[in-house]
Amino acid sequence: MPKLHIITIALSYIAFFAASVAAVLYIIQDIFLKSKKTGMILNHLPNLLFLDRLNYRAIGLGFPMLTISIISGFIWAEHTRGSYLSYNPRQIYSFVLWLVYALILHVRLSAKLRGRKVAQLSLVAFCMIIFTLFSSCR
pLDDT tens column, 37-84: 776 666 778 889 999 999 999 999 999 999 999 898 888 877 777 776
How many whole angstroms separate alpha carbon 87 and alpha carbon 35? 47
- Does the CA dihedral 47-53-59-61 come out positive or negative? negative
CATH number of 2-135: 1.20.120
Percent of the chain residues topping a pLDDT of 90:
45
Cβ contact 33:93 at 8 Å: no
pLDDT tens column, 100-133: 999 999 998 887 788 889 999 999 999 989 988 8
Would you state the pLDDT for residue 93?
85
- DSSP 3-state of 115: coil
How many whole angstroms separate alpha carbon 118 and alpha carbon 109? 11
Cβ contact 136:95 at 8 Å: no
137 — pLDDT class (breaks 50, 70, 90): low
